[in-house]
Amino acid sequence: MKMAHQLGRAGFVETVRGNNGGLKLGRTPAEINVGQVVRHMEPDMDLVPCFDARSGCVLTPACELRDVLADV
């Protein structure tokens, strides 16, 4: 629900209340850029804890996930 609320406040989706309620796009699909959505939801881009140098994760030296996500 928190994500839906944040996406609604940013205008990416509209919330519809009631028995037939739910979510619908707040813009046309052509106006929604995945990069904009990710940057809005993760402003510091710490998608995983190891992106923060202070995380102290013992897997960081051997982890390939960090490099893959950084490339994306």
37, 51: one domain: no
Q: How many CA atoms lie within 13 A of 58 on its CB side?
A: 0
- Partners of residue 22 on adjacent β-strands: 16
| pLDDT in 10s for each residue of the chain, 72 residues | 888 899 999 999 998 888 988 999 999 999 999 889 988 887 776 666 677 767 777 777 787 877 777 776
30, 2: one domain: yes
1, 35: one domain: yes
E strands along the chain, which residues? 13-16, 22-25
Q: Using alpha carbons, list the distances in angstroms from residue 5 to 14, 31, 36, 69.
A: 9, 19, 16, 25
37, 53: one domain: no
pTM confidence score: 0.58
Count structural domains, the chain.
Answer: 2
